[in-house]
Structures are given as C-alpha cells and as structure tokens.
Structure 1
C-alpha cells in the first residue's frame, strides 16, 4: 500500500495519492508504517492540510514524541470534529479521560456512517482499543474487539488481526475473564518483528499473563512473567508500566525484601499523568503505598496514597487501597476507598478483594455473622476464575477468619480447602518441617473433614491419616487440631 501511494504521488494525479492515503492511514498506523506514512504526508503538495497534520500527529505519538504529537494535533484541529480523521485521531491523542470518552462517543456514530473512503476495519479495532482503556463498559469493548478480530480476518489483514486478538485478551483480563484471556494470549500469532505499535503498547502478552498469575495467587510465576516485560527506558504509560505495578505487588506478596529498593526505582519510572484514559499516577501511588507498608513505613504509605482518594475511575487501585488501609488500621479511610472502587464498576477479581476486605473489617469489629456472609460471597465470586490472591494475605484477621469459616460452614467448601492448602504452601511457617503428605493432611485439618473423610480424599488408609496427624502434632509441639492450625498460621 505504501508503494501504491508513492506511485500515485509521483504521477500527474497527486490528489489520487491523497485519497489513497486518507483511505488507508489508520491501517498504516496500526500496522506500524508510521515513518513512511509521515514522510508521505510531508511530500504532499499541501503538507499543511489539516487532515495530514492530524495523521502526522498520530505518527509522532506512536514514535514516542508526545510533544510533537500535541503541537501537530493543535495545528490540525481546523477540521470539523465529526470529520473521520479528526474523530479517530482524537481516539489516540485526546489528552484526558473526558475528552477521550467524548471522542469515543463520536466514533461510535462515525462507524455507523462509514463511507468507501473510511477504513472501517481499522476504526473498529481502534474504538474497541479505546473503550477497554476507558473501562466504562467492558462487555461493549469486548464485543467491539471480537468484531474487529472477525473483520480483520475477513479482509486478510494479519497484523491488525493479531493486534485485535491481543487487545481482546487484554479486555478479557481486565473484565476478569481469565480463562478465555489465557487461552488467547498463549495462542497469539507471532509478530513478524518489533513494530511501532508493539513498542507503543509495550509487552502486552507477558504483562497480562503476569496479571492473571498475580490474581490467581501464583506470585512466583507472576514475578517471572512480569519481570520479562520490563524495559528500563519505557515511557511509563503502557503495558510495560502495568507490568511494573504488578511486579512490585508480587514482590510484596512474596516478601522479597532484598528487591524492595529496586522495586521503588521501577515505580519512579511510571508516568505521573493520565494517558489513554489510564490514571497512572493513582496506580503508581497505590502500589508505592503498598511497598512502603511492606517496609514498615505506614506514615509514608498514608502520605503517598492520600491523593488517590481524590480521584475516581480506578476501581482496581481503590480496591487494593481499601485493603491497604484496613491492614494499616484505618477503617474510615478503607471505607472511603471501598466506595470509590464500587462507584467505578468492579471486575470480578477486584470485587473479591473488596469482599474479603469487608469481611475482615466486620470480623475486627465483632460482627461475625456479617463477616462470614461477606467471606462466602467472596468465595462464590472467586471460585469462577480461581481468584486466590485476596485470600493469601498474611494478615492475622484474614487468617483467623478463613480458619473459622472452615468450621462455620461454607457453600464453597472445596474452594475454601484449596485456599487453605494454598496458604500453607504460600506461607513459610511450615517450610522444611512437614513432609508434603503432612502438609496435605494439615490443609484438611483446617476444614471440618473428619479423619475418615481425609483418608477418602487423599486415597490412603484411616490409620495412615492418624499417623500423619500424630506426626504433625509432634513436629509442631501441639496436642490438638485447633492448636496445629494456629501454630502454622502465616500471620
């Protein structure tokens, strides 16, 4: 296509070249021909044409020149806002969430009015891409990207198809549909090579697989995946920045104190300004506050996170912040963050986090029945996509509540058993003391199962289970089931 436009530009009919350029500019940007596209704009007989200036602004932004993009966009905004080029330029370059949302609304209308000179396939992808980042309607964003995948395949555009698939996986991850997202991410076609758009987005597959691993409580795998996506010189406002945030949270979960200093430096590289509708400063502050808390600096954690309570539209960040304030001992602040999270519309995994926080707050306040009710709601939401992270905190309130819930009786006893078993593996209290089989028996002792039921579950004889229980008691220096559970509690 680039060569076809060049040939037309060299002919006696440059207006035909401009028509081809206008028809294909969005596809050329998405498929990472930004340098050649900008040179074609510059070689036009009228390089100051507003549409060409807007196209150049998009090229500049993808190349990392945000200031150049801003200036060119300002020069190009001499066209009507319902102009196709202006509309879809704004989807990329709108400076804040409100402006991007307004541009998306115009784009939805523009898609219903696409003419022969408008690139419907690329526009569909870009609108879906935008709606995911606005996080205002995940089902709609997912539907747009599914349509973009199908349209790109029909039109034989493999690069747009790959990008639409990867962004569909991102949308599914953000919505909490982890299983489907993982299947897409693990079967993505290979990129033909480093592209402008891939650099612009920065490490999508590894970052998203790492996010999923984090929420599923597989913190070691999460840290490995996320570390592979980190690039020191990144702009701090793309998937690479998301990888930094979840990498630091994984280190905190793993208590990797030797890496905390380097983790703080990584957070400094994240943008302090919103980009593409993402509130990066709020995200950076919340994770920085968690890191400060892990280092025993609660006053600093409170100071770092305070501005996040003045922002909206960051549901996951505010869910994590609500739990942080609860852990610090600030129930009023925890409630404020909880309300901000709920107002933004919570994906399932963040809802699990807030339900666990709410249960812990009720438990600490002596409202046991409400605590168990909230915890069972959390288990119900978590079981669908195996969301384990919110239950793995080493906080003693959560630990005691989970143990008590196993005896209280849950509608999700099997999943609760999985959590208690995971806590035993995640904690370090029994490391090197109990055998693997003894750890399995201990996990069963955290539930209401009898010795006969434990034997049936593990496929061993009843006397063998009794021998394992005696060995556990002996090694832990206790004489009862309850004492054994409390002796190895990670909190």
Structure 2
C-alpha cells in the first residue's frame, strides 16, 4: 500500500478555497484515487472492514505517511452501503463552516438530506446551533448502513471538534470513520466503555516484513529475503520510508542489502521537513528537533532541553509524533523515538543550527551520565565537551565494566584531547579496560595495577577458578585499596559485587556473600552507578532463590529486569542472575514454561563471561525439560553443561550433578533399574537429600519396599546436615521427603500416608513449593483424591495438583521415544491441514500418516488430535 499525501494536499486545497463562502467543489467530497503501484494489503482491509461493521465510530490514527487515506479509499470502493467522504482542510476549523461542509457531503449521497441554511443575517452561535440541530436530524434519517468518513480530522481544533462532532456522535445515526495523524479532542469515553469505538493505529498500519517484500516486488526492484529484512528493520514498516528508500535504490542491483545500511541512507529528510516538522507550530517543531538528539526522552530531559519541554513532550505524545512508550523510569514515563525519524531530525538540526545541536548533545550527556555512561560520553564528544566526557568516564567506569562495555573505553579515551588523557579517573578506567581485554596493565598509561588485578581476577579471559577468585577478592577487601592518589569507592564497590557473586556460585555459598552484595549495592546507589547496583540486586534475588524464598526472588528479579529493560540492557550479563532467579523460583512454583523461558534467557545473557551462571541455568533447565517431556530441550541443556569444561576441569559437584541428571533421565524414561545402577553412594550428588528421596521413588517402582524405606530415612538424616549439591533448601527437601513418604505408605498404611501428605502440603503452601508434589502427582493421584474426604486444611492446593495432573499429566516414558518422522507429523497436527494434506506435504501415504498419528496418541497418552497438540505444547514438544 502506498503512503498518502496526508496533509500537503489538504493545505493546498485550503489555500485554493480561501475567501469563498463554501468549500471548494469536486475533490473535497470525492474519494481519492489509489496511487500508482498500489499493493493491496488484505490484512489491513479486513481489519478496517471488520472494525467499521462492529462500531459506531472508527478511529484511524497514525503519523504522516502510514497510508491512512489510501486504506480508506480502498475500503470505500467495496463498502456495502453509501459513504459520504470529506477531506478536511484548515479552513474547516470553524463550527459553522464544518456544519455546512457535512451537510454538503450528505447531499451528495442522499439528495435532500442537506439541512436548509438559515435565511436570517445572524451568523452567531444560536444560528450554528440551529444548523447543527438540523444536521443531526438529517443524519438520523439516513439508512443505518451509511458511513461518513472525515479525513485529516487532526486539522480540527478541540473547540470545533467538541461543538460539532461531539453532538453529531452523541445521537444514533450513520457510522463515522475519523482519520488523522492524531485523535480529535472528542468526548467519546462513554462510547468506548460501551464498546462503540473501534481503533486502527500505527502498529496495525505499519508494513509487515512480508508486505515490504510485496512492495519490493511491485516496484520491480531486485531484493532477496535478507535485503527485505534489512529494509524493514531500518524503516520499522513506515510505509512512506519504504517507498522513498526503494525510490533511492538502497538495494543494489544484485539484490543484496547494503553492507552497512544506515538511517541516513533512507532519504526521508525532505518528507520529514515538509510533512512532519513543517506542519507543527514553531515551538513544537523546535522541540522535536532538539529532543531527537536523544534516542529516548522523558519529562526531565525535555525540561532540560527546552523551557516548558515537559508540556511539549506531552503534546508530541498526544499528536502521535513517532514516539513509543517504553516504560517508567521512576520519575516519569520514558519515550523512544522512531530511529529513522530521530536520525534525520538530528541532521536537520545540525545543519540549521550547529550551536543548538551541540548544546542539546551536552544536555543529553549530562542527563544520561548516571544511566548510560557510554552513550553519555558519545553525546559529550558530539557536543564538543571533552571535559564532560572525561568526567563521565572517570565517574562511571564501574558501570561500563559491569555491563561489559569496558572495551569502548580505549576508543573513548583516544577521542579525548591530550590534556584529559592523564586524568587519574581516566587512567583508572583504562587500567580496567586493559585487564578486561587480557593485554595486561600498561605501565606507559600510568594505570593502577591493582585495578587491573581486580578486573582480571573476575572478568578477564583466563581468570582463575572460583575459589581462587574469591580468595584474591577477599584479600583485596580485607587489605584495603593501596595508596594511589585516587578515591577507592569505585574499586571497593566493584570488588564487593564481584566477590559476592562469585561466593554465590561456589558450592555451599558463604553467607558473607549477602553482606558483600548489600554493601556493594548501597555504595553503588549512593554514587549513582546504576548498572553496578542492578548487578548487586540481581545477585541478591538469586540468593533468595537459593534459600527458598520464592516470593522475594521473583519480586527482586522482576524489578531488576524491568529496570534493565528501561535502559535496554536486556541481553547483558547484568541480568543473567535475575533470569536465573526467576527460572529457579518458577520451577519450584511449577510454572514450567515461565521457568524454561527465564533459564534460556539466563544462558544467553551469561554467555562466555559468566560460565558458572550458564551452567547452573542449563542444569535447572534440564530438570525442567525432563518435567515437560521436552527431549530436544533436554539435549540442548545437557550440551551446555557438558561443553562448559571440555578440558575435564569441571568442579567435582558439577561432575556429580551430571551423573545424577543421567540417572533422573533414565528414571523418566521408565528405566528405574538402569537409573539405580548409576547411583554412586560415594558421590556428593547421590548423597544429597533430594537425590536420596528420588532413589526412594525408584526403589518403590521396582518393588523394593525395604530399600525405599532405607533411602527415605537417609534422606531425612541428610536433610539435617550440610547444604546439598542440588541447591534445594531445607523447606524444599522437607516437602520432597514428605511427599515421598506419602507415596511409600499409600498402599500399606493409609493413615500414615495421609498424615505425611498433609504435612507436605503444610510445608509447601507458605513457600509456594508446588513442584516436589507435582513430581509425584501421578503416584499420589488416588491418595490426593481421597485426601479431600480425609480432611485437609489445604484443599485449594490439593485441587490444583489434581487439576494440573489432569491437564498436563506427567510425561509417559514412551513420549521420549517419538521418532523424527512422528515429530514431523506432530508439528503438522497443530495446523488446519487434513490428514490427506499432511500426507501430501510430507510426501507420505495417508496410511503411513495415520499410523504415525496413532503412535503419537499412544505415546502421549491422549485420544485425539486436539489433545495431542495441547499436551505437546504443555511439554515443550511444539
């Protein structure tokens, strides 16, 4: 779909009709012709048709260049009833004139419907009111399938909208479609609450990637999938930008995207100046150019850029000027500019007023310093303020280290004038950069060697083991910072964070970790090191998950993730432990899909810099995949744990955990004897209380009641001892052991079984520890059903367990044996394809497909296609 003129034509029509008593004839009430090279978008056409049919009022609102007029013109051509079209212009922003214009539009579709003009000379408010009453009467007489379209409704002031459109919409009559760059100031909240208002906005009107491909083909420009994706990503589907980019040949003749497609390669500056900035009041236009220097803007920054900036920012949001709400920074909302619009607006400001552009960069640098030091330094240098850049670099280097941005320090320092390069704080940052990049402390730079030692110990390549890192870090904290002539707060805060997080990742984490993290977080908050503070808070959330405080872990981790998202740090190592905390807590609460998502995010964020976190997350993810019956996910998780220490240097507890995981997998595959054969009583993993409870379950499955009782007694004894290698807390171990005891006594001593089950429920409910019970829900199912009659203080939890086992039963052993071809057929079952169509798509016979379907149903324990898809989704097989 092409982008419409959307404003410029309306202005020209207004000038042509100036001085006349009536609106200019012809085009004002005529549906515009579709543009050349039109690409029909059935998605938008259907959405508009459905919305108009279901609502009295439809609002089509998006910035300039989103194809609003073209979309409406296409719909009118197929509208089921009569349509009155009005292309508004600035001269219509007067109540009396707008009433006459609406009357003229009605007369074109229903002769005689136009209200008669008052013959009297009075043209005051009373006369407008009488004409408006006549217009409402005429509208009420129209057939209900009639639609009135008002294009460019943003040209009407709030006064005209309220005085004319407000009464018109208040009473029953034809349907209305109001299209504009932003919403008219109309009192329609009652209609919204009544469900009478439908809306199509920027997100619905933007091109999808597939639609960009359609446009590329329609204009005859060579372009493969990679080229189309590059164009879609840089324009974000803004239709006019796509058209202008193609007109400028941003795709070369071979169809490959430019090696580095940049914002400035899309020639929208002229359109931006004429149709966006040029249509704004002078003060708002100036604000848009200045504020676009920053990628994101909030009320505080807006006020710093321009007096009254918060009000102007609010007006920009109201006008829909290419701003997206990205959250709340605590002091107010934060908005992100459309990257393409911001880049060209910055270029316009730099050309028009270079001094204003420099000042804006400096203001943004000062604002971003505490939040995003790397961006702040770039803005300071762009604003020709090297002193500000040096100050930010010296004050904020700990945040750069924690975020993994320390590699930028060298380039940023090189951009500073020579007289700033010997600043002590800059030298401190440079020493950290050299250590992080493993090229040693550079004596010729004058950087403090002890700073490099700290970074190298915990972050640099080839760093020592966790135990050695913790030893060295504690020595630094205990000995204090050597006398170097620079403040030691930065190094101390960073050391507290790095030592605390390493202590948490050790087997049997030292309680001192919490003290180190709390002190580091407080110092970071005092000095305004946001990333460092977030890192400490993320580790504290992880510590809460380790001690079984599920609620505190989730609350703390979610707060960290929300703040990180606000600063666009979602993929950095800062949030790895927060995702891990959410994953562990969600697992114990039996929210397996959420747990798997967070654990995968933790692995991705940890990367190579935080190998211990990635391995920990992969281990928990493997347990989650076992619970879901997700064989591919289990294999990928195990690849991570096996590949993390390829040289055989894995810690003893990790090697033991791998063996335990193998045994658990065999148990899940209904091979309990093979699982028990792996048990090594001398291994720290198999001496763990959770592992002993698991052994009791397996021994019970093969009929060894005495062995199951011995393992359970050993588990209860071990629970009172040292911390376990599997990371369970005493509360989690107690719930698991009591659940195992209930299963053990279910057949031989109903009273003891019910008592153990009630004790397990009582221990689980305060902490939300559902998973230990769900692991045994299949074995406990008859006991759980009878427990409601036996009498329980925890009936909601019992009901939840029974319902969960019905809706998402424990994966059967045969589910692990789905063949690759059965998985292909299973993937097709969630589509609308018939069995014959599935056979054709997979190049199989219909009988073969039906055989695979029967095998899938048997292995998943279901009796039909819909149940198979639901169960497969719940277990992560789809």
- TM above 0.5, yes or no, is yes
Aligned partners of 2:454 and 2:495 also within 8 Å: no
- 2:770 aligns to what? 388
- 2:742 aligns to what? 359
User: Are 1:215 and 2:588 matched, yes or no?
Assistant: yes
Residue among 308, 314, 327 paired with 2:697:
327
Q: CA–CA distance in 1 between the matches of 2:742 and 2:587? A: 21
User: How far did 1:144 drift?
Assistant: 4.0
Q: For the structure 1 residues 428 and 336, does the alpha-carbon distance in structure 2 shift closer, same or farther, using more than 3 Å as the test? A: closer
- After TM superposition, the structure 1 = structure 2 runs for residues 383-422 of structure 1, keeping only pairs within 5 Å, are 383-393=765-775, 396-422=778-804
Q: CA–CA distance in 2 between the matches of 1:241 and 1:176? A: 20
Q: CA–CA distance in 1 between the matches of 2:554 and 2:606? A: 28
- After TM superposition, the structure 1 = structure 2 runs for residues 459-470 of structure 1, keeping only pairs within 5 Å, are none
Residue among 443, 452, 459 paired with 1:62:
459
Aligned partners of 2:672 and 2:698 also within 8 Å: yes
Deviation digits for residues 54-111 of structure 1, max 9, x if unmatched? 44742xx524x33xx34xxxxxxxxxxxxxxxxxxxxx7425xxx95x7787678558
Q: For the structure 1 residues 284 and 184, does the alpha-carbon distance in structure 2 shift closer, same or farther, using more than 3 Å as the test? A: same
- 1:289 aligns to what? 663
- 1:434 aligns to what? none
Aligned partners of 1:202 and 1:239 also within 8 Å: no
- Greater share of helix residues, 1 or 2? 1
Aligned partners of 2:497 and 2:517 also within 8 Å: yes
User: How far did 1:181 drift?
Assistant: 1.8
Q: CA–CA distance in 1 between the matches of 2:796 and 2:620? A: 28
User: Are 1:43 and 2:443 matched, yes or no?
Assistant: yes
- 2:676 aligns to what? 302
- Secondary structure, counterpart of 2:796 in structure 1: helix
RMSD: 4.6
Question: Which structure would you say has the larger RCO, counting Cα contacts within 8 Å and 6 or more residues apart?
Answer: 1
User: How far did 1:164 drift?
Assistant: 0.6
User: Are 1:244 and 2:641 matched, yes or no?
Assistant: no
Q: For the structure 1 residues 113 and 351, does the alpha-carbon distance in structure 2 shift closer, same or farther, using more than 3 Å as the test? A: farther
Q: CA–CA distance in 2 between the matches of 1:41 and 1:130? A: 23
Q: For the structure 1 residues 132 and 381, does the alpha-carbon distance in structure 2 shift closer, same or farther, using more than 3 Å as the test? A: farther
User: How far did 1:182 drift?
Assistant: 1.5
- 1:122 aligns to what? 494
Question: Which residues of structure 1 form unaligned runs of 5+?
Answer: 71-91, 430-491
- After TM superposition, the structure 1 = structure 2 runs for residues 258-269 of structure 1, keeping only pairs within 5 Å, are 261-262=635-636, 264-269=638-643
| Matched residue count | 380
Aligned partners of 1:289 and 1:305 also within 8 Å: yes
Q: CA–CA distance in 2 between the matches of 1:134 and 1:356? A: 29
User: Are 1:180 and 2:562 matched, yes or no?
Assistant: no
Q: CA–CA distance in 2 between the matches of 1:349 and 1:114? A: 48
- Secondary structure, counterpart of 2:564 in structure 1: coil
- 2:754 aligns to what? 372
- Secondary structure, counterpart of 1:94 in structure 2: helix
User: How far did 1:299 drift?
Assistant: 4.4
Q: For the structure 1 residues 206 and 51, does the alpha-carbon distance in structure 2 shift closer, same or farther, using more than 3 Å as the test? A: closer
Q: For the structure 1 residues 270 and 377, does the alpha-carbon distance in structure 2 shift closer, same or farther, using more than 3 Å as the test? A: farther
Bigger Rg over Cα: 2
- After TM superposition, the structure 1 = structure 2 runs for residues 121-140 of structure 1, keeping only pairs within 5 Å, are 121-134=493-506
Residue among 554, 576, 581 paired with 1:203:
576
Q: For the structure 1 residues 46 and 34, does the alpha-carbon distance in structure 2 shift closer, same or farther, using more than 3 Å as the test? A: closer
Q: CA–CA distance in 2 between the matches of 1:130 and 1:138? A: 10
Aligned partners of 1:104 and 1:131 also within 8 Å: no
User: How far did 1:300 drift?
Assistant: 4.2
Q: CA–CA distance in 2 between the matches of 1:306 and 1:53? A: 43
- 1:311 aligns to what? 684
Question: Which residues of structure 2 form unaligned runs of 5+?
Answer: 1-393, 398-408, 700-706, 724-728, 812-878
User: How far did 1:151 drift?
Assistant: 2.0
User: How far did 1:138 drift?
Assistant: 7.6
Question: What is the TM-score with the length of structure 2 in the denominator?
Answer: 0.37
- Secondary structure, counterpart of 1:238 in structure 2: helix
Q: CA–CA distance in 2 between the matches of 1:113 and 1:376? A: 59
Q: CA–CA distance in 2 between the matches of 1:51 and 1:351? A: 46
Q: For the structure 1 residues 412 and 362, does the alpha-carbon distance in structure 2 shift closer, same or farther, using more than 3 Å as the test? A: same
Q: CA–CA distance in 2 between the matches of 1:50 and 1:400? A: 67
Aligned partners of 2:496 and 2:516 also within 8 Å: yes
- 2:532 aligns to what? 160
User: How far did 1:219 drift?
Assistant: 1.8
Aligned partners of 1:202 and 1:238 also within 8 Å: no
